[in-house]
């Protein structure tokens, strides 16, 4: 019996400016969760490693090119994606300052959002953000 399970990657990128922490988020261009805020990310291609896929999706959706990110965790809640069974592997990094970003590909917009302003996100991204903050020992 063949399993139909998709693999996605999510990027949780923080940056600091004027003693305030920001998170890079995208506004989704497509369903599910069209026009809602989410982490940059997407489906892994069959010939790429997880980290490579995450860096590719980050650049495609926001224009931000990074080389160093660290794994946060694997998210496998059965109903986390309405399109079907999906496992996501999240990666994180903290930049010394915000860099210019622009929504592209599956992202209608990309912007740095203050951690104080983040409320509801698509999928289970609030949980992923919380875990990334713990991984990087961010208390804000």
Cis amide prior to 32 (ω within 30 degrees): yes
Active site residue 36: no
Beta bridge partners of 92: 12, 70
For residue 52, give the DSSP letter: H
Which of 20, 109, 111, 117 is labelled catalytic? 109
CA distance 56 to 28: 17
Q: Which two tokens stand for residue 98?
A: 């915000």
**HSE-CB for 15 with a 13 A CA cutoff:** 16
Q: Which residues are known catalytic residues?
A: 109
């Amino acid at each position: 019996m063949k399993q139909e399970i998709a693999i996605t990657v999510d990027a949780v990128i923080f940056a600091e400016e004027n003693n305030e922490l920001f998170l890079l988020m995208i506004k989704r261009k497509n369903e599910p969760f069209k026009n809602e805020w989410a982490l940059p990310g997407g489906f892994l291609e069959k010939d790429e490693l997880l980290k490579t896929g995450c860096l590719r999706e980050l650049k495609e959706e926001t224009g931000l090119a990074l080389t160093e990110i660290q794994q946060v965790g694997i998210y496998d809640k059965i109903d986390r994606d309405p399109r079907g069974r999906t496992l996501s592997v999240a990666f994180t990094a903290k930049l010394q300052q915000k860099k210019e970003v622009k929504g592209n590909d599956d992202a209608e917009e990309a912007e740095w959002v203050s951690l104080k302003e983040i409320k509801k996100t698509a999928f289970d991204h609030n949980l992923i953000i919380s875990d990334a903050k713990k991984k990087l020992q961010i208390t804000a």
